[in-house]
A and B are shown apart, each in its own frame.
Chain A
């Protein structure tokens, strides 16, 4: 069982998922669809970065994935606040 190949295949699947979600982000009838797609792509980016760490065989760089989980939340809340209230403060 070659774990490297498995990780690589999983990475490709994640990228395929990102491309499907990207379609919804570009097309999305409402703004909310776009924000949802952004949030989902952020989560998938967390996955992809973690997988890349294991693909390259150096999993010590997961700080980036952790940072994504945080920043994704902040960005989503910011965009939602903008859509809902038309101001940021």
Chain B
């Protein structure tokens, strides 16, 4: 679809908005519906749209396979590292009180933010990998 100017321009207009919306869904997941999984899917949808209109090789130029593979692993590592951090600082595994020892209650939003970003990163990169490998 590289030859269709209208689609190219519309994609260029939409792409940043979809990305920001995906980040909003991830980050705002503790106040409104949303979270890592949904937000990751939206971010993946932005890259998939780019890959559909500009063809997959162009998409792989802005997000090479090596980068998406690395980020996919990094998402899981962020989650596990958040747990390990609380373990190492004397709390139980994945106990968010570790993130704010002075006020054990308010650690939850922090832990949630970190974890949601990890989940979102993994989900987005797996979906992009799916598009990369299935599109043929």
Our pick among B38, B53, B134 for the contact of A77 (Cβ within 8 Å) is B53
Task: Answer whether residue B30 sits at the interface, using C-beta atoms and an 8 A cutoff.
Answer: no
Interchain CB contact under 8 A, A70 and B51: no
Q: Do A73 and B14 form a contact, CB below 8 Å, given A88-B131, A89-B51?
A: yes
Task: Answer whether residue A16 sits at the interface, using C-beta atoms and an 8 A cutoff.
Answer: no
Task: Answer whether residue B25 sits at the interface, using C-beta atoms and an 8 A cutoff.
Answer: yes
Q: What separation, in Å, do the CA atoms of A85 and B53 have in the docked complex?
A: 12
Q: What separation, in Å, do the CA atoms of A59 and B96 have in the docked complex?
A: 32
- Distance in angstroms from B134 CB to nearest chain A CB is 7
Q: Interface stretch among B42-50, B84-92, B101-109?
A: B42-50
Task: Answer whether residue B113 sits at the interface, using C-beta atoms and an 8 A cutoff.
Answer: no
List B residues 24-67 near A (Cβ within 8 Å): 25, 32-34, 38, 42, 45, 48-49, 51-53, 55-57
- Distance in angstroms from B61 CB to nearest chain A CB is 13
Residues of chain B contacted by A84 (CB below 8 angstroms): 1
Residues of chain A contacted by B18 (CB below 8 angstroms): 70
Report how many residues on chain B are interfacial, defined by Cβ distance under 8 Å. 25
List A residues 58-73 near B (Cβ within 8 Å): 60-61, 63-64, 66-67, 70-71, 73
Task: Answer whether residue A6 sits at the interface, using C-beta atoms and an 8 A cutoff.
Answer: no
List A residues 30-89 near B (Cβ within 8 Å): 60-61, 63-64, 66-67, 70-71, 73-74, 77-78, 81, 84-85, 87-89
Residues of chain A contacted by B55 (CB below 8 angstroms): 89
Interchain CB contact under 8 A, A87 and B45: no
* Residue with the greatest number of chain A CB neighbours at <10 A, chosen from B45, B51, B131: B45
- Can you give 20 A-B contacts (C-beta < 8 A)? A63-B32, A63-B34, A64-B33, A66-B21, A67-B21, A67-B42, A71-B42, A74-B45, A77-B49, A78-B48, A81-B53, A84-B1, A88-B51, A88-B56, A88-B131, A88-B135, A89-B56, A89-B57, A89-B132, A89-B136
